[in-house]
Amino acid sequence: MGLKKKWFIFGMTALLALGLLAGCSQKSSSSDSDVLTVWGMGDEVKQLPKMAEEFTKETGIEVKIQSIPWASAHDKLLTAVASKKGPDVLQMGTTWMPEFQAAGALADMGEYMNKYPNLKPDNFFEGSVETTQFNSKYYGVPWAAETRVLFYRTDILEAVGYKESPKTWEELKDAAKKLSERGENMYGLNVDAKEQTLGFMFARQNGSNLVSDGKPQFNEKAFTEAVSYLNDFIQKGYAPKEDLGMDVSQTFSGDAIVPMFISGPWMVKAVNDTVQGIEGKWATAVLPSGSDNNLSSLGGSNLTIFEHSSKKDEAAQFIDFMMKKENQLKWLDLTNAMPTVKSAWEDDRLANDPLYEVFGQQMEASRSMPLLPEFEEFAQNYLKHFEQIYLGGKNVEKEMDAFNKETEELLNK
């Protein structure tokens, strides 16, 4: 999942949030309670008690699950860190890992990875593991992952000469051009100008490192070429310049106003449930390759152990239980969350489903956004500069020079 949350100043927010703790009925992990406490985020976690019951049957360890809305999760976590009182197991969005690891909230899990085999990093996709690793130590285990792939109407692309999905940037632009020539208000690809990872994703495909040794590289050729490439789609009419005000049931159905778009696994269900009359006429594909690779963005969440927990070993046992292949597949059945354990993708329900199989392939070529506490801020700033380019007609190189300078100042604070 892509987590679009604001970063808060740690000290001030924590102090303001401390008052919330007194009213919270959740028992502290430092109490004498024998119950293992788990904090999870979002609606999916409401399914977690079903898994916890199985864990209790297997180990005798009782578990209490608390589901926290994503909107209030950041403040609640800050409260726990400031007070050193919180759960034993924390679900942690991948983009939040740098902040909370730096704050000392997350336990080093190295010793437990040696003790519990399902926690070993080799079991997981490399990109997911990267989100858990800081200074050569592991502070979490990948739990849920999402990546982005190409969705396309097979029948409509075939009509313009593409019997398969576009494989390269050149083919993607050519296909989009031909699709846009079908008539007025018809397009080829949706370039989501509000999606903060899109520009960075394409820049990586063109060989950009984004940030190297703490220095942004947003005004270098690999990055500016990618921005120009995306802007070209919009300026030439291959992609809508502004939001069409339509959902996928309107843009992907019938003659398909927009027959290609890039999105995550949640859109498989959305297309199946809402787009009428296209069964057997659409597919997913790994992203086309730029000059260097076809890397996609990687999001999701990890399971971590709270540094101040008095039940770290029991917490590690619970996480180990959740990482068993069969339990990753049960979690898939309960929530549609994509497994992070590589062996789970060999299961028939994923390996033999062409729509989901593609996500497994793309996971092998996916990387998280830069693991920096400042990422959210400079990613939003990128969108402002990109808007100046595609809507305001500003020069790409000048805008990226300004963006790079602003990011440099942010990272040097």
- Domain for residue 312, yes or no? yes
Averaged confidence pLDDT in the chain: 91
Residue 268 Cα distances to 73, 123, 150, 354, angstroms? 27, 26, 11, 11
Q: What one-letter code names the amino acid at 324?
A: K
Other CB atoms within 10 Å distance of the CB of residue 380: 12
Is 356 within 8 Å of 149 (Cβ atoms)?
Answer: no
CATH code: domain of residue 407: 3.40.190.10
Six token digits for residue 255: 């003659």
The Cα–Cα gap between 164 and 106 comes to 45
Paired sense of beta strands 63-68 and 260-263, if any: unpaired
Specify the DSSP class assigned to residue 338.
B
Write b or e for each residue in 224-247: b if 16 or more Cβ atoms lie within 10 A of its Cβ, otherwise e: bbbbebbbbbbeebbbbeeeeeee
Same domain, 25 and 110: yes
Same domain, 337 and 396: no
Percent share of the chain, pLDDT over 90: 83
pLDDT score of 115: 97
Query: Quick one: which of 209, 213, 234 has its CA closest to 293?
Result: 209
Same domain, 264 and 360: no
Same domain, 292 and 226: yes
Same domain, 253 and 389: yes
Compute, in degrees rounded to 10, the torsion defined by CA atoms 312, 318, 319, 322.
180
The Cα–Cα gap between 225 and 231 comes to 10
Same domain, 22 and 83: yes
Mean pLDDT of 101-113: 96
* pTM of the entire predicted model: 0.84
Is the pLDDT at 29 greater than 50? The verdict is: no
The Cα–Cα gap between 326 and 320 comes to 12
> 174 CB contacts (<8 Å, ≥6 apart)?
166
- Domain for residue 1, yes or no? no
Taking the chain, what is the end-to-end CA distance rounded to the nearest angstrom? 29
Is 328 within 8 Å of 343 (Cβ atoms)?
Answer: no
- Domain for residue 263, yes or no? yes
Is 97 within 8 Å of 120 (Cβ atoms)?
Answer: no
Q: Into how many domains does the chain fold? A: 2
For residue range 212-271, what is the model confidence (pLDDT) as tens digits?
999 999 999 999 999 999 999 999 999 999 999 999 999 999 999 999 999 999 899 899
- Domain for residue 22, yes or no? yes
Same domain, 139 and 154: no
pLDDT score of 12: 34
Provide the pLDDT confidence category of residue 349 given band limits of 50, 70 and 90: confident
Same domain, 268 and 406: yes
pLDDT score of 15: 36
DSSP for 136-165, written as a single string:
TEE--EEEEEEE-EEEEEHHHHHHTT-SS-
For residue range 369-400, what is the model confidence (pLDDT) as tens digits?
999 989 989 999 999 999 999 999 999 999 99
pLDDT score of 277: 96
Same domain, 105 and 205: no
- Domain for residue 121, yes or no? yes
Q: Which residues pair with 262 in a beta bridge?
A: 150
- Domain for residue 108, yes or no? yes
For residue range 129-173, what is the model confidence (pLDDT) as tens digits?
999 999 999 999 999 989 999 999 999 999 999 999 999 999 999
For residue range 264-299, what is the model confidence (pLDDT) as tens digits?
998 998 999 999 999 999 999 999 999 999 999 999
pLDDT score of 206: 99
Give the domain extent around 39: 10-147+298-368
The Cα–Cα gap between 225 and 220 comes to 9
Paired sense of beta strands 89-93 and 36-41, if any: parallel
The Cα–Cα gap between 29 and 41 comes to 18
> For 91, what's the count of Cα atoms within 13 Å in the CB-facing half-sphere?
22
Specify the DSSP class assigned to residue 117.
G
Six token digits for residue 391: 């809507």
Query: Quick one: which of 134, 266, 198 has its CA closest to 189?
Result: 198
For residue range 161-205, what is the model confidence (pLDDT) as tens digits?
999 999 999 999 999 999 999 999 999 999 999 999 999 999 999
pLDDT score of 40: 95
pLDDT score of 186: 98
Q: What are phi and psi of 347, to 5 degrees?
A: -65, 145
- Domain for residue 4, yes or no? no
Is the pLDDT at 14 greater than 70? The verdict is: no
Is the pLDDT at 26 greater than 80? The verdict is: no
Environment class of 49 (CB within 10 Å of its CB; exposed 0-12, middle 13-18, buried 19+): middle
Same domain, 44 and 14: yes
Same domain, 360 and 377: no
For residue range 114-123, what is the model confidence (pLDDT) as tens digits?
999 999 999 9
**CA 294 and chain centroid, separation:** 16
Query: Quick one: which of 165, 139, 171 has its CA closest to 151?
Result: 165
Same domain, 119 and 192: no
- Domain for residue 3, yes or no? no
Helix (H/G/I), strand (E/B), else coil: 262? strand
Paired sense of beta strands 36-41 and 63-68, if any: parallel
Is the pLDDT at 17 greater than 70? The verdict is: no
Q: Which residues pair with 106 in a beta bridge?
A: 306
Mean pLDDT of 86-101: 94
Is the pLDDT at 19 greater than 70? The verdict is: no
